[in-house]
Amino acid sequence: MNESESVRIGLIIGTTRPNRFADVPAQWLVRGAAERSDLVLEVLDLRDWPIPMFEEPAPPTATGGVYTNPVCERWRRKLVEFDGFIATVAEYNHGPTAVLKNALDSALLEWKDKPISFVGYGGVGGARAIEQLRLNVIELHMAPIRNAVHIGLDPFLGVLTKGKSLDDYPFLGTARTAMFDQLVWWARALEAARRATAVVASITE
């Protein structure tokens, strides 16, 4: 990948319940990404990925990252297409949603050495769930980046109850731009590092 090429980012929608708020930040991210030439965002809606609650007979670390469940196999093969990820993050009882954590558990090698950032919403902008997710993804050899977007109580309620849009909160747009900038930087850096490692491995085979 050179500087003129776009990085491919998967946007994981981290909740699946009917009437979810997640579509609001997801569409806002898609709109923001469309204004940039350095990244291409593809939505990975977990509603479209009926990944079972983890039911593998062996941990993926013991199987070389292979899953018996065909949906998990499709999921992990899809993730190969991306250089980095963003997840929308709701906070359920001060933690990440089970469906998002389960999606993370349902692939292994395909996450490795790729950056991820988070767009949280709720009482404290999803901050508590995002902090937990950062720890989880380190175990997957991902690079959680510093920049995130936190849609706190005021914009969250503004959208839900006052007919506002996230575009009415310029500080969120600033945070989105900074997050995209950092994510692209990390995606390029880690893609080059993955490529260099692959070249060295092929030479030493």
Ligand X SMILES: Cc1cc2nc3c(=O)[nH]c(=O)nc-3n(C[C@H](O)[C@H](O)[C@H](O)COP(=O)(O)O)c2cc1C
- Residue whose token pair is 């999606």: 103
* Amino acid type, 25: P
Interface with ligand X (CB under 6 A), residue from 4, 93, 202, 204: 93
The smaller minimum CB distance to ligand X, of residues 135 and 201, is found at 135
Q: Which of residues 25-64 bind ligand X (CB under 6 A)?
A: none
Q: Can residue 20 be called a binding residue for ligand X (CB under 6 A)?
A: yes
**Nearest residue to ligand X on Cβ basis:** 122
DSSP one-letter code for 92: B
Q: Can residue 101 be called a binding residue for ligand X (CB under 6 A)?
A: no
Interface with ligand X (CB under 6 A), residue from 66, 69, 92, 182: 92
Query: Which of 43-51, 70-78, 119-127, 190-198 is the region at the interface with ligand X (rule: CB under 6 A)?
Result: 119-127
Give backbone dihedrals phi and psi of 26, rounded to 5 degrees, phi first. Answer: -65, -45
Q: Can residue 17 be called a binding residue for ligand X (CB under 6 A)?
A: yes
The smaller minimum CB distance to ligand X, of residues 157 and 199, is found at 157
Task: Work out how close the CB of 32 gets to ligand X at its nearest, in angstroms, rounded to a whole number.
Answer: 19
Of 35, 200, 154, 9, the residue nearest 88 (C-alpha): 9
Cα-based distances in Å from 53 to 2, 49, 95, 98, 160? 39, 12, 17, 9, 30
Task: Work out how close the CB of 131 gets to ligand X at its nearest, in angstroms, rounded to a whole number.
Answer: 13
Q: Using CA atoms, how far apart are residues 24 and 26, in angstroms rounded to an integer?
A: 5
Contacts of 47 (CB under 8 A, 6+ apart): 13, 16
Task: Work out how close the CB of 130 gets to ligand X at its nearest, in angstroms, rounded to a whole number.
Answer: 11
Give backbone dihedrals phi and psi of 43, rounded to 5 degrees, phi first. Answer: -80, 130
Interface with ligand X (CB under 6 A), residue from 84, 96, 122, 155: 122
Q: Using CA atoms, how far apart are residues 140 and 171, in angstroms rounded to an integer?
A: 31
Residues that bind ligand X (CB under 6 A): 15, 17, 20-22, 90-94, 122-124
